[in-house]
Amino acid sequence: VSAPVGALGRMVAHYVAMFIKEGRRDLARGLVLAVALDCTWVAVPLCVIGLLGSGWAAGFFQLADPWPVVATVLALAMVWHKGVVDSALNGAQAFFWSSAIGIVWSLVRLVVAVALVLIGMGALGAVWANTVAMLLSLLVGWGAMRLLLGRERVSRHREPGMYPYFAGYLVALVGYGVLANADTILVKRLFDPAEAGRYAVAAMAARAVFFLPLPIAAAMFPKVVSGGVVDAASRRVLFKAVLLVAVVTLGIGGLVILFPGVTLRVLAGQQSPDLAPLLRGLVLALGPLSFVVVAMNFELAQRRFIAVGRVLASCSPARVRLAPDASAAIARAMPNAEAAPISGAPR
């Protein structure tokens, strides 16, 4: 669900930002209403199917009753609309409201979870707390959007080309996901489960280096939207975003490289000194992906999908060419590992 919802949200943010830049807030609100209605046609059938199949799902997952499935289905049904509202606020550059909604969601989830657990609902209370928090944050976001985009009645507006933009962004997002996670997939394929698990621990800690700068790319996106023309102001915003990402990546990456043991203890909850060389190598390998995200968001904000393909393709050959040597390199970092040949022979 995350990839389609993410691509849909970026589509909404793009057109809302463009309409606001052109002074057409009525079209921005009309587009949000149209996309929200379209999401309803997707979410309602999925919700009905999930609720009708909750009993079977509870039996399949060996749950005592279907209520955890019901709570999860309702939360997933709201994810689509929450993605639309959050992205509309991002497109309007209402970063205060975006942060406030995140705080509301986290706070409500914590308070409701504690209250429900205390009255005896146990883990089920925590699941329902997430659903309640999702609903309240959606309502707060919708109210903030009406405050920013206007309360007057407007007709629904579907901009020509908006869903092809969604499809293009979805393809780019999937491509980036493959690029960012190819190492874990290869290790899982080539190494025994124990060593693959150790690699996953180090990779999880190293990924903090390129996850932390992601909000910078998200904040840059609505500031540089256009129909394909890059002006001087957009270039200045891009330069500032790259500079900020460099500072964050080098700062966080430097701390992880200097203190790998502390990083593993904090993020993974374990002390594994033998994983320190691997963690340092992964930080150096994954750090540049932060700049790939910035470049990809900048090109997608300009609707230049071919350029995005070139950005992703330029990052791929290195992984393809290095694939035959990947098992040997990882084995050097994990002395107990035994890798299978890259050709696919049995482990």
- Whether 321 shows a pLDDT value over 60: the answer reads no
Q: How many CB atoms lie within 10 A of CB 15?
A: 25
Backbone angles phi, psi at 339, to 5 degrees: -95, 145
Query: The tokens 């190819």 sit on which residue?
Result: 182
What confidence category does residue 239 fall into, taking pLDDT thresholds of 50, 70 and 90?
very high
Token digits for 318?
């290195």
When computed from its CA atoms, the radius of gyration of the chain, rounded to whole angstroms, is 22
Q: Look at residues 101, 81, 105, 95 and name the one whose alpha carbon lies nearest to residue 32.
A: 81
At residue 341, the pLDDT reads 42
Q: Are the C-beta atoms of residues 69 and 50 closer than 8 Å to each other?
A: yes
Q: For residue 23, what are its two tokens?
A: 């002074």
**How many CB atoms within 10 Å of residue 22?**
10
- 143-147, 204-208, 282-286, 335-339, range with the lowest pLDDT: 335-339
- The sign of the CA dihedral 144, 40, 59, 65 is positive
Judge if pTM exceeds 0.85. Answer: no
* Lookup: tokens for 180: 């960012």
Read off the pLDDT band of 340 (50, 70, 90).
Answer: very low
320: helix, coil or strand? helix
Query: Once rounded to an integer, what is the mean pLDDT over residues 287-312?
Result: 84
- Tens of pLDDT, residue by residue over 9-22, are 999 999 999 999 88
pLDDT of residue 317: 54
Instruction: Report d(CA 188, CA 21) in Å as an integer.
Output: 47
In 3D space, the residue among 162, 215, 149, 154 whose CA is nearest the CA of residue 15 turns out to be: 162
Query: Residue 342's pLDDT is what?
Result: 38
User: What's the pLDDT score for residue 334?
Assistant: 52
Q: pLDDT per residue over 135-186, tens digit each? A: 999 999 999 988 888 778 888 888 998 999 999 999 988 888 888 887 788 8
pLDDT surpassing 70 at residue 242: yes
Give per-residue pLDDT as tens, 178-231: 888 877 888 888 888 888 888 888 888 888 787 878 888 888 999 999 877 788
Q: Provide the pLDDT confidence category of residue 332 given band limits of 50, 70 and 90.
A: low
Average pLDDT, the chain: 83
Closest CA to 256 of 209, 198, 214: 209
Q: Is 201 in contact with 268 (CB distance < 8 Å)?
A: yes
